[in-house]
Amino acid sequence: MRRAICLSSVALAVALAGCAAAPPPPAVIVDAPPVPEKIDTGPTSMESEIGGLNEEAMDKAFASLDVNHCIEQFGDKLETLGGELKLKLRIDRRGSARWAYLSQSTLGDRDAEKCVLDLVRAKSWPRPLGGEGLAEKNFTIDPRTEPATLEERRTLVQVAQARVEAGKCRRGVAGSFFATVYLQPDGRVVTAGVAVPSEKGEDVADCVVEALRRVRFRGAPKLAKLSFEIR
């Protein structure tokens, strides 16, 4: 009996040893997700809205602007036509005028002023570098005959009326306009012009000039020129 138990124990040990020697199950290999390659794109490139203009090229462009053509075209109706102009414009990347206006003008004739602005808008300008370009230029036009000057203080009531009438044209345009009118001896307006505070002012400039034409100012002994601010 004792021998049988020993034999059974040996058989059990052999069986257990056989189980322990069984090969392990095959390993499961899982591919790792790919790591994206880092690409160096270099420094960020930025372009400002307002760029630069070549000063020499702009001087040549302004010199080729035939402002005298406009004065000659409309000066026949008024020998005293003349004054100071300050032109402002914005040039887009293609070299075209995005907008243009007269920030200063004592010319006193809206038709001549519009003629100058039409020349500016039709012209091809030097292309700006790094954005759009801003430029300005002063012009002085000497009249063939010097007009008499009427001081604002001599016609305060009519100037106040002109400001009220012109103010109706604003349509939300902020800033001061500057009006110049030529007056007959009886105070009637012969011609009128206006400088505007911004490019938006060009949209209402014609209306302002028409309002000025309707005002009867105080007269002078001869043809006179009057300038005043419209606030």
Report DSSP letters for 70-95, one per residue.
Answer: HHHHHHTT-TT--EEEEEEEEE-TTS
Q: Is the dihedral of CA 202, 142, 119, 78 positive or negative?
A: positive
> Residue 170: which of 149, 187, 136, 194 has the closest Cα?
194
Quote the tokens at residue 33.
């997700």
CB 81 within 8 A of CB 71: yes
CB 91 within 8 A of CB 132: yes
Give pLDDT tens digits for 70-124. 998 887 778 899 999 999 999 999 999 999 999 999 999 999 999 999 999 999 9
Quote the tokens at residue 48.
């400002």
CB-based burial of residue 105 (10 Å sphere; 0-12 exposed, 13-18 middle, 19+ buried)? Answer: buried
Tell how far CA 96 is from the center of its chain: 12
Q: What angle do CA 176, 180, 186 make, to 5 degrees?
A: 135
At residue 22, the pLDDT reads 52
Quote the tokens at residue 149.
């000057």
Between 27 and 53, the more confident residue is 53
- Average pLDDT of the chain, as a whole number: 84
At residue 76, the pLDDT reads 73
